[in-house]
A and B are shown apart, each in its own frame.
Chain A
């Protein structure tokens, strides 16, 4: 049976675009959670605007690609199942994006920047979100060009964009007939644990301290303990190596 290179490339392209959308969605959510707090600033509003626009570009690109693939009647059943799975991933991402856009509108309106006394909530977060935004935009460093009126001007744009996203999702529901409950996930429960990317505070080959909850930043302390343990372990190894060498040579 001839290999359908075109379909494979279509699938890979789709997956890459979905990964990109997924990344931007996660970063956008992170930025929205900083709104109204002491991390909020003119820069954050600009980061939100840029990330949001990027998310929408990716959304449109994904939708176009996926609808084209799903409309193709000549694809095999396996392929079809796979595209439906990707479609569900896409709609879930859009769900999260839509809610976050609406929330950012609400919180942005409640906490304007240009007021005589800002009453931003003192949440304990004081660092900047610029690296998160840079990750979303896939750049090294963010450039900031907006002026002081960004918070009010952008909110108007945001309202329009929310309406556009709502409309897009309605159209998607009408035109693409995919039954979500029929889709089976590829990953099993606990699949996230098999990730090769280390996302905790642990360093290599270390005793992991299991704690029920971050008591007074116990997580931070646990991470630090892990680092110390790692250093001591490496030091012991080095000393053992040196002693062994000396024993052999003397």
Chain B
């Protein structure tokens, strides 16, 4: 019916906008100076253009940042290329992410695909006119056809097209060579997506068939991206204190800090929920100090404990003080990487070579490649075996399920709940009494420690 059609178009727009927002956010987080993408230089004949990255780096970054599988990372990476946020440098028409040394570059925000700013015919005409000038009349067949069609369709403003094309080229000539090359690549990438050549799938599908698209491509796409999120929510639902409540009781409500005590790092017997969480993902296990201890015990039995120790040592280098980095890296080398080291870790020769080179000029991230290698080794190999091991199963069986604190029958047996006075009130009374400010501050500190 008519209303259904409108609603489908609305859903299409919402799905596309969600997708655009998600992708924009991924791109922006790739720019982070510390945790972002690794950039390389693109060398042309005599020009060097910075900010290139390989397909492999992109996939690896996505895997690490969002803790997803290789398949999922490849999937997301492909979207980034197909929607024009990243463009390939070698084969511009091949809009897919290859997980190898193929170079890519980020697209400038002005040329990001957005339903808010659809590409207009006027813009396309100007682009073709510019290309015509640059190629001295040698446009590709389908571009020639588009050019002629546009010349007919927007003939009334064709003089403007010619004028603007010339002026835009003159403006670009003001930039230096390397930037001009990038500008051309950017524009070409934009139009390859917004006006794809015949035979290439139009990812935007602008046109009267939006109703069909709403039920297929875009919903599928946003569905797959959101499925990851939904799976996460379902898995963690039982562990969410707001959704399921927390045992023995919520400290913020009952003023009883048993919950925190039972889940602290140094507890002898962990809670069942906590041990269950270790089976959700390898990161969960590693992030919990108790989990790490258990894993270490297991690995010691398997004689591969050096992997976890190495990983931990790398973490300390990454997150530790800058002044201690060189010393720490040296320690790591002596203990784990040097030939004949006491706790030698098994890394593939290429990574080992690269790491040993990098150690000569140590910095915070010099051990990243090796650490990732060991991380994935443990994740694929030791982690699944640990989850199936007797050690883990015994712990899970013995783990505590806290009892919900029952309200005692006798009111005087219940733990008294008291609300601490607001610090603002304390200061007010102190001022009223004409006391000096320092003592009011002390009172505040005292109140804070009571809470």
Contacts and interface: CB of A to CB of B under 8 A. Distances in A.
Contacts of B136: 193, 200, 202, 208
Contacts of B140: 212
Given A34-B108, A193-B136, A214-B185, A88 B157 contact: yes
B32 to A, nearest CB: 6
Contact of B157 (A34, A36, A185): A185
B359 to A, nearest CB: 27
Nearest to A36: B109
A122 B50 contact: yes
A200 B129 CA distance: 13
A39 B163 CA distance: 26
A123 B49 CA distance: 10
Interface stretch (B10-18, B171-179, B308-316, B363-371): B171-179
Interface string A192-234: 1101010110100000101011111101110010000000000
A88 B156 CA distance: 7
B299 interface: no
Contact of A126 (B33, B90, B179): B179
A92 B167 contact: no
A27 B45 contact: no
Interface string B1-37: 0000000000000000000000000011101110001
A215 B103 CA distance: 12
B333 interface: no
Main secondary structure of the interface of B (DSSP, over half): helix
B134 A221 contact: no
Interface string B85-111: 000011011000000000001111111
A25 B151 CA distance: 21
B163 A190 contact: no
Interface string B36-51: 0101001011110111
A173 to B, nearest CB: 15
B27 A195 contact: no
A125 interface: yes
A22 B89 CA distance: 32
A113 interface: no
Nearest to A30: B171
Contact of A26 (B110, B137, B171): B171
A224 B182 contact: no
A29 interface: yes
B147 interface: yes
A110 B129 CA distance: 31
A199 to B, nearest CB: 4
B90 A220 contact: no
A217 B181 contact: yes
B180 to A, nearest CB: 8
Contacts of B173: 199
Interface in A84-129: 85, 88-89, 92-93, 95-96, 99, 103, 106-107, 110-111, 117, 119-127, 129
Nearest to B46: A224
A124 B49 contact: yes
Contacts of B163: 19, 22, 89
Given A36-B109, A185-B156, A197-B166, A224 B45 contact: yes
A216 B91 CA distance: 9
A180 B156 contact: yes
B159 A186 contact: yes
B24 to A, nearest CB: 8
A185 B159 contact: yes
A103 B110 contact: yes
A184 B165 CA distance: 19
B162 interface: yes
Contact of B170 (A193, A197, A217): A197
A26 B164 contact: yes
Nearest to B39: A122
A189 B147 contact: yes
Nearest to A131: B174
B110 A93 contact: no
A37 B108 contact: yes
B122 A22 contact: no
B52 A127 contact: no
A192 B166 contact: yes
A112 to B, nearest CB: 12
Given A35-B109, A123-B108, A135 B32 contact: no
Contacts of B122: 92, 95-96
B188 A25 contact: no
A99 B164 CA distance: 15
Nearest to A195: B166
Given A34-B108, A38-B51, A187 B158 contact: yes
A126 B89 CA distance: 17
Given A197-B166, A199-B133, A121 B109 contact: yes
Interface of A: 19, 22-23, 25-27, 29-30, 32-39, 85, 88-89, 92-93, 95-96, 99, 103, 106-107, 110-111, 117, 119-127, 129, 131-132, 134-136, 180-187, 189-193, 195, 197, 199-200, 202, 208, 210, 212-217, 219-221, 224
Interface of B: 27-29, 31-33, 37, 39, 42, 44-47, 49-52, 89-90, 92-93, 105-111, 116-117, 120, 122-123, 129, 132-138, 140, 147-148, 151, 155-160, 162-179, 181-186, 188
11 contacts: A35-B108, A36-B108, A38-B51, A39-B179, A121-B107, A123-B51, A124-B49, A124-B52, A135-B171, A202-B136, A214-B181
Given A22-B164, A132-B171, 4 more contacts: A30-B172, A99-B120, A117-B32, A121-B27
